[in-house]
Amino acid sequence: MSVLAQIAQEGLPAADQQNIEAAGGAGMAYGLAAIGPGIGIGYLVGQAVQAMARQPESAGQVQTTMFLGIAFTEALALIGFVVFILLKFV
């Protein structure tokens, strides 16, 4: 407890502070990068379900297209993740 109090009084060393800020920034970038694809996949799947409900005979084709759409949208999140690991660890 006394160590924590001492840190709080003196503040962290500049290098540690910088590392914490970099980690926070990279983590926030990754989180933000996952929001867009999340919205995209939600919209995509909603429309696909609607299409399947309207035309059940073409459900197979719709599912194929939906799967490819999800995978393409996921690529955006993957790019965010790769930027995160490159910023954080390289």
Partner 1 sequence: MNAPANPLAMRMEGPSPAVEVAKDLARRGALIAPVAAMVGALFWGTHGAASVAYALAIVVVNFLLAAWSLGFAARISIALMAGVALFGFLIRLGLITLAVLLVRDAAWVELIPLGLTLIITHLGLLFWEMRFVSASLAFPGLKPKPGLDAAQASNSPTISDLSETKEHQ
* Residues lying near partner 1 in the complex (CB under 8 A): 34, 37-38, 41-42, 45-46, 48-50, 52-56, 59-61, 63-68, 70-72, 74-75, 77-79, 81-82, 85-86, 89-90
Tokens of 15: 């290098």
Nearer to partner 1, 12 or 78 (CB): 78
Instruction: Write down the least CB distance from residue 41 to partner 1, Å.
Output: 5
Instruction: Write down the least CB distance from residue 69 to partner 1, Å.
Output: 10
Pick from 89, 88, 76: nearest CA to 32: 76
Nearer to partner 1, 25 or 46 (CB): 46
Pairwise CA distance, residues 60 & 66, whole Å:
10
Radius of gyration of the chain (CA): 22
The number of residues in the chain equals 90
